[in-house]
C-alpha cells in the first residue's frame, strides 16, 4: 500500500512544477521593485515568498525524482533535468536563508549575496525547464516552428530515410529518442528500432500483423496501450499504412521499397507530339478533363503503322499513355518492348497484329496493366505464364490467339478473379435459344398478302405424298390455296412447282 501512495506522490510533479517557477519569478519582481521604491514591499512579505519558493521547489524536485522511476524515461536528458531540478531546489533554499540573514540592520554584503543567488537560481531555472520540456515534448520542441516542414535530408536516398524516419521523428521522438528512451526504446536509429525496448522487439521483419508497433498504432486511441498516447500528435492512416508496407517489405534501412515510393507527377503531354499523332490520323484525347493521361487509338492509321512508325509517334509520350489501341497495325514484338515502358498503361489492344509470346514476355510484371486484347495474334500456350506474371491484369481476350482452350481454363483456375474471354469453351452456358416454329390453322397462309382471308385448300390430297391434307399446312400458288399433309412437303413443292401442280384439281 505504501508503494502505491509513493507513486501517487510522484504523480504530483506535473501539478507542483509550475509553482516554484511562478514564485521565483514573483520574488525576482519584488526585489526589482524595491530597488527603486524602498519600503513599498515589506521585507517580511518578501521573506514569506522566498520560503514558499524554496518549499515548492523542494517538493517539485522530490516528486519529479519519484516519478522518473515510474514514467520509464531514461537517458542523458532525464539525468540532466534531475540534477538541474535538484540544484534549483537547493539554490532556492539558499536564497531563502540569505534573505532571512539580510533582514535587520544594514547587512549589505548578505543582501547582495542574496540577490546574486536569486539571479543565479533564475538562471538555473531556464535550462531545467528546457530539459523538462524536451522529456515531455521531444527534442527541438522550442524551435520546431522555425524549422522547415520537410525535415528529410536532401541527401536521403533510401525509402526509410525519406518516408519512414520522418514519421518516427514527428510522432514518436517525444518519448523514444536517444535522449529519452521511454520503455528502453529509441526509434531514432536502426540499432534502436531493431533492438526494441524493455518489453522486447517492436517490429517483426516481413510480418506487420505480428509487430508490436503496428498493434499499438492500430489500437483505439482510448486504449491505455495505444501509441502515441492519447493527446499526443497521432499518425494518419496513410502514415500507418506506410509503416506497415515498410515492415512487410522486410523493414530495410537501405534502398527503395517497390510500391511505397510516391510516383513522380505526370508531366503534361508534349503538344508537338500530340499534333504529330493527329496529323497521322491517330485519335488522341485526354482520359479526363484536366488529366495528363491519354487514350491513343491507331484505328484510322492502322494500315500504315509499322514498328518504326509506332516508335516515332509514341516515344515522346511514354509517360502519358493510359489506353493504347494498336489493333490491325503492322507491328511486332519490337513495339511491345516500347509499350512495356509506359508505366501508366492500363488497357492495351493489339488484336490482329504480329505479336508473339516474346511480346507478352516483354510486358511481364507491368504494375498497372489491367486489360489486354490479344485476339488473332500469334501466341502459343507458353504465353500464359507471362500473362500470369501481370499482377494488375483483370481481363484478357484470347479469341483465335493461339492459346488453347485447356490452357486458358488452367489460367482461370490459377487466377479466379481474372476474366478470360476465349470464345466458346466447354463450360459455356446457354443464355437463350429460339423456340421451334409452330404452325397452326389460324396462322396466315404462306405466300398470302397481308390481311388476306384464310381460305380452305383447293385439294384434299397432298400433291407431294398423295396423303390426306392437313389444313394447318397451306401455301398460295398462282392465287390458289394448296394444302399439304405435313410441314416437310411445302419446301419440296416450291423446289419444283411444275412437277406437282399437275396433281391439283
Positive/negative CA dihedral, 480, 481, 484, 490: positive
Residue 141's pLDDT is what?
Answer: 58
Residue 92's pLDDT is what?
Answer: 87
Residue 1's pLDDT is what?
Answer: 52
SS3 480: strand
Residue 79's pLDDT is what?
Answer: 76
Question: pTM, whole model, 2 decimals?
Answer: 0.44
Positive/negative CA dihedral, 279, 280, 283, 289: negative
Residue 182's pLDDT is what?
Answer: 82
- pLDDT means over runs of 10, the chain (505 residues): 69 80 84 78 82 88 76 65 84 86 68 84 82 65 50 63 89 81 88 91 93 92 86 85 92 85 83 96 92 95 95 96 97 96 95 96 90 95 92 92 90 86 60 57 53 74 92 88 92 90 87
Residue 144's pLDDT is what?
Answer: 55
Task: Indicate the length of the chain as a whole number.
Answer: 505
From the CB of residue 460, how many other CB atoms can be counted at a distance below 10 Å?
Answer: 10
Through-space distance between the first and last CA atoms of the chain, rounded to whole angstroms: 127
> Which of 85, 84, 82, 60 shows the shortest CA–CA distance to 73?
82
Q: Is 450 buried (19+), middle (13-18) or exposed (0-12) by CB count in 10 A? A: exposed
Residue 152's pLDDT is what?
Answer: 45
Residue 301's pLDDT is what?
Answer: 95
Residue 310's pLDDT is what?
Answer: 96
Compute CA 247 distance to the chain's CA centroid, rounded to the nearest angstrom: 15
Positive/negative CA dihedral, 46, 47, 52, 55: positive
In the sheet with 294-297, reading across from the earlier edge strand, the strands are 283-286, 294-297, 321-325, 347-349, 371-373, 395-397, 419-421
Residue 8's pLDDT is what?
Answer: 75
Strands 395-397 and 470-477: unpaired
Residue 156's pLDDT is what?
Answer: 59
| Helices 43-71 and 76-102: angle between axes, nearest 10 degrees | 160
Q: Report d(CA 121, CA 109) in Å as an integer.
A: 18
Amino acid at each position: 500500500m505504501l508503494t502505491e501512495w509513493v507513486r501517487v506522490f510522484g504523480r504530483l510533479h506535473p501539478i507542483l512544477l509550475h509553482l516554484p517557477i511562478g514564485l521565483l519569478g514573483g520574488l525576482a519582481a519584488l526585489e526589482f521593485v524595491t530597488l527603486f521604491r524602498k519600503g513599498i514591499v515589506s521585507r517580511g512579505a518578501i521573506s514569506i515568498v522566498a520560503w514558499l519558493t524554496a518549499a515548492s521547489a523542494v517538493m517539485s524536485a522530490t516528486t519529479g525524482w519519484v516519478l522518473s522511476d515510474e514514467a520509464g524515461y531514461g537517458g542523458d536528458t532525464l539525468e540532466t533535468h534531475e540534477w538541474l531540478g535538484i540544484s534549483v531546489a537547493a539554490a532556492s533554499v539558499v536564497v531563502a536563508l540569505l534573505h532571512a540573514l539580510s533582514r535587520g540592520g544594514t547587512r549589505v554584503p548578505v543582501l547582495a549575496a542574496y540577490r546574486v543567488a536569486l539571479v543565479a537560481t533564475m538562471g538555473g531555472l531556464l535550462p531545467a525547464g528546457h530539459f523538462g520540456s524536451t522529456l515531455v515534448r521531444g527534442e527541438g520542441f522550442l524551435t520546431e516552428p522555425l524549422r522547415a516542414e520537410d525535415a528529410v535530408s536532401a541527401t536521403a536516398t533510401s525509402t526509410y530515410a525519406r518516408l519512414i524516419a520522418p514519421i518516427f521523428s514527428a510522432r514518436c521522438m517525444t518519448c523514444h529518442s536517444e535522449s529519452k528512451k521511454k520503455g528502453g526504446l529509441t526509434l531514432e536509429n536502426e540499432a534502436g528500432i531493431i533492438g526494441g525496448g524493455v518489453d522486447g522487439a517492436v517490429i517483426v521483419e516481413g510480418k506487420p500483423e505480428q509487430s508490436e508497433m503496428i498493434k499499438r498504432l492500430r489500437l483505439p486511441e482510448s486504449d491505455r496501450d495505444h501509441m502515441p498516447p492519447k493527446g499526443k500528435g497521432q499518425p494518419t492512416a496513410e502514415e500507418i499504412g506506410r509503416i506497415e508496407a515498410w515492415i512487410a517489405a522486410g523493414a530495410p534501412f537501405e534502398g527503395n521499397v517497390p510500391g511505397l515510393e510516391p510516383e513522380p507527377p505526370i508531366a503534361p503531354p508534349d503538344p508537338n507530339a500530340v499534333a504529330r499523332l493527329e496529323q497521322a490520323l491517330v485519335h488522341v484525347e485526354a482520359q479526363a478533363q484536366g488529366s495528363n493521361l491519354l487514350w491513343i487509338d491507331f484505328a484510322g492509321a492502322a494500315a500504315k503503322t509499322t514498328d518504326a512508325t509506332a516508335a516515332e509517334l509514341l516515344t515522346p509520350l511514354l509517360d502519358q499513355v493510359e489506353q493504347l489501341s494498336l489493333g490491325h497495325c503492322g507491328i511486332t514484338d519490337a513495339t511491345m518492348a516500347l509499350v512495356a515502358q509506359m508505366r501508366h498503361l492500363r488497357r492495351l489492344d493489339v488484336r490482329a497484329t504480329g505479336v508473339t509470346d516474346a511480346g507478352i514476355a516483354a510486358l511481364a510484371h507491368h504494375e498497372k496493366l489491367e486489360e489486354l486484347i490479344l485476339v488473332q495474334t500469334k501466341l502459343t500456350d507458353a504465353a500464359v505464364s507471362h500473362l500470369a506474371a501481370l499482377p494488375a491484369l483483370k481481363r484478357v481476350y484470347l479469341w483465335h490467339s493461339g492459346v488453347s482452350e485447356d490452357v486458358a481454363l488452367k489460367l482461370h483456375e490459377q487466377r479466379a478473379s481474372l476474366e478470360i474471354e476465349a470464345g466458346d469453351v466447354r463450360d459455356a452456358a446457354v443464355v437463350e435459344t429460339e423456340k421451334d416454329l409452330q404452325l397452326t390453322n389460324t396462322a396466315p397462309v404462306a405466300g398470302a398478302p397481308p390481311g388476306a382471308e384464310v381460305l380452305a385448300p383447293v385439294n384434299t390430297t397432298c400433291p407431294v405424298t398423295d396423303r390426306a391434307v392437313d389444313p394447318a399446312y397451306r401455301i398460295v400458288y398462282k392465287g390458289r390455296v394448296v394444302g399439304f399433309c405435313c410441314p416437310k412437303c411445302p419446301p419440296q413443292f416450291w423446289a419444283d412447282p411444275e412437277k406437282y401442280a399437275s396433281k391439283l384439281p
